[in-house]
């Protein structure tokens, strides 16, 4: 299964990663989450999983509402792709 995981880094964590000051990152996973994705997960306020069939939150520090698809599309368009950190 291939899926894209989108991360919204907490403002204080953006400088921790070498991602040219991007707040939104996307990591394509094929088998499972790695150590790098765990670091991203800890440093993020919200994390989405897009498996091609549905989009869902993996993590949301703010609320438990359903994913706002309009907001997610903007995040998807502005996300910086990372292979590994």
Write the pLDDT tens digit of every residue in 6-29. 999 998 888 887 777 889 999 988
Other C-beta atoms closer than 10 Å to the C-beta of 23 total 18
Q: What is the pLDDT of residue 34?
A: 60
Element (H, E) at 39: helix 35-42
Query: Could you read off the pLDDT of 38-79 as tens digits, one per residue?
Result: 888 999 999 999 999 999 999 998 887 889 999 999 999 999
Query: Could you read off the pLDDT of 24-43 as tens digits, one per residue?
Result: 999 988 776 665 678 889 99
For residue 74, give its domain range.
3-81
Q: What is the pLDDT of residue 15?
A: 84
Query: Taking Cα atoms as reference points, which of 7, 59, 52 lies closest to residue 30?
Result: 52
CB-based contact 57:34 (threshold 8 Å): no
Number of domains composing the chain:
1
């Amino acid at each position: 299964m291939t899926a894209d995981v989108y991360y919204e880094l907490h403002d204080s964590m953006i400088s921790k990663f070498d991602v040219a000051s991007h707040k939104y990152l996307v990591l394509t996973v094929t088998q499972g989450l790695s150590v790098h994705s765990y670091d991203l997960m800890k440093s993020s306020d919200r994390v989405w999983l897009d498996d091609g069939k549905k989009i869902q939150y993996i993590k949301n520090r703010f609320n438990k509402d359903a994913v706002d698809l309009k907001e997610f599309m903007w995040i998807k368009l502005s996300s910086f792709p990372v292979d590994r950190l």
